[in-house]
Structure 1
Amino acid sequence: MPSQTLIAVILAALAALAPFSIDTYLPAFPAIGSDIHATPLELQQSLTAYLLPYALMTLWHGAISDAIGRLAAIRWGLLVFSLASVGCALAPDAYTLWFFRAVQGLSAGAGNVVARALVRDLFEGVMAQRVMAQVQMIFGLAPAVAPIVGGLLLAVHWQAIFVFLAIYAVATLIIALKTLPETVPQEKRVPLSARQVITGYKQIFSDREFLCLATAFGANFAGFFVYVLAAPVFLIKHLGLNAHQFGYMFVPTVCGMVLGSWIARHNAGKYASGRILRIAYLGMAGAVLLNIAVCFWLPPYHVWNILPVALYNVGMALAMPVLSVAALDRHPRLRGTAASGQAFLQMVLSTLSAGLIIPLLWGHVIGLALGMGGYALFGWWCARQTGIWHQVSTSPQKN
């Protein structure tokens, strides 16, 4: 089997397709709007056109991978995504762009969902937490790199961004198929049928512990995603940056995510999971209060408006491996379905943000700060309902 680090890098590359397909084209909104005669709201809704199908299809990616194998699910998902990316590049108007963004959304989640399931297929216990944190640490670079890549490709043409996404999907697919093992042999596969999928989801969504763990995971991420989805307005309108300066936000916020992931990997097995979660939420709460204070008392400026978001990401990333592994461990027989359910809840929150909440908040920086705080509070409430929250005096686990 390939080394743990190589597996983590490949799984992170698969999972990173989703943020790349969002963040690379954000700097190009003005150029795309000018070329295809689309309004800022129509371009914002291209995010919703992507996220809603993404969320709905995540309910199927895991079940499909349980039925046909992990690698086959990755293969079909990434091939469809690459073709849809070419369609986006050639879109002559907003409606065509929405259509191909929707097809991208239907297929992009395969890599993310299957990557989560593969971590638990290949690793157990504390090692699974460490590998999940390592994947997250590498994956966390995507939101920083993507808008920078998008800004560079924008110098060629905005269409080059979608051509890049097509090439990225094909290249990652080839590497994954040549390197990763198939972890669902024929005898362990679950027949794919609508009835079987519905039965599986009834099982996992009727599990209150799973529901709270997965929702907490999604709410924490949505707190940061508020700023990702509102980036064109937040950075250009409020902070006075240009399309080539998106790295001013994404580099420090991703550094926060990478730092939190490193801390999570370093401390997995050394401290009880509940203690790690409490520290993570304490950090997120401090970042939210700092963010609100800055927005109230200081004029908009990228240094102090972005710092609290980066600090929030440290706590968010610290909590993620604990919540994710605990949720997947609830249903080992339906691990692919559980991974889909977890990703679905995460994307539902993100989709609501893109289509409904963010347009109501982005009129002022304080609105975005309160949005982040609201999601963090909701995530904390969900985490408190779980058994793992109370594991504060458990003996440290060993490898």
Structure 2
Amino acid sequence: MVQQVTRQDFNELMVPIYAPADFVLVRGEGSRIWDQDDKEYVDFAGGIAVNGLGHAHPVALNALTEQAQKLWHLGNGYTNEPVLRLAKQLVAHTFADKVFFCNSGAEANEAALKLARKVGLSSGKGHKSKIIAFKNAFHGRTLFTVTAGGQPKYSQDFAPLPQGIEHLAFNDVEAARAAIDDETCAVIVEPIQGEGGVISATPEFLQALRERCDETGAVLIFDEVQTGIGRTGALYAYMNTGVTPDILTTAKALGAGFPIGAMLTTNKFAQHFTVGDHGTTYGGNPLATAVAGAVFEFINREEIFAGVKERHQAFVDGLNQLNAEYHLFEEIRGEGLLLGIVLKPEYAGKAKDIVQFASEEGLLALVAGPDVVRFTPSLIIPQQDISEGLTRFGRALARFSPK
């Protein structure tokens, strides 16, 4: 007999660190999802940029079930075939020579920052341990990564925090040039700040970071947890910037819903880690890497990237039409299918209200801070679902701002 559960059970049983919607989702197919009452939703949230192929896609499902009949878990005293195949794929299609697998974006960033500190220690330059990060960034929820993230609301209650991390204004070239010095071991940056409001780094800013890292011997880390695996219309966002990092972190859509993360780097930096320096129990397990390998192969095609760009334009056109009617948006920003809908100043702080109305109208959406509604749908969302979702979003806007 299947045990019955309700939304109220969440309040009674779960540690209160989330405030989920007041419905319970039970099944999904493509970019549609249903709750316990069989109400249907169009999914523009995508599991927070995770469900790159939507729900229950055959590519991921078949890879999972096939591997589940072979081998689930070994631990890293042994290796396995799926992890080696996935590592080959990532190395073949990026700047990287070496890969470390883990379970999440936070863990990937933790590994990246630890490696950078080890590189600094090995440099022979004394106090080369400073990390440069940026305001409004988000890099995860471990104590190290939440400190690197430039949002005090996520870190201020957990002091004392790790030291040696300096936060600068995002896209401030002169501040970055001045702050990155011989004591800097790492600069960590998102090509597009996702949680921070869907704000793209300028080419000049990223180029300045690259130049100063080269001049000072600092490691340049790109956090592509949210922007990677086709999200911006390229395999990774760095490929559209003209700037190549020393370390790249990836997760979210890499497993299309199955937990996996990875840190990618070159031989030059990977050699600073030796056996026992870092590790993880589940990272690189056969189930996760088999799914990620199949997902990577499916997404890493020009037709998928072209489709992301086409869908981006469909969203922008539809949102502009809605804004012509309701006059709520200051700006629509982002790349590919990472979209930020910035509310006008008079509606500041109201993004969550709009998302609530949207869910009532049968649309799942996100926020990126209090003033920005965020869409991160499946990379292959059908055009009819885009149209239907925007129609439902329009009904939500009508309720938020009645004429």
Whose helix proportion is higher, 1 or 2? 1
Confirm or deny a common fold (TM above 0.5): no
**Greater RCO (CA < 8 Å, at least 6 residues apart):** 1
- TM-score range normalised by the length of the shorter chain: under 0.3
TM-score, structure 1 length as denominator?
Answer: 0.28
Whose strand proportion is higher, 1 or 2? 2
TM-score, structure 2 length as denominator?
Answer: 0.27
User: Which structure has the larger Rg over C-alpha atoms?
Assistant: 2
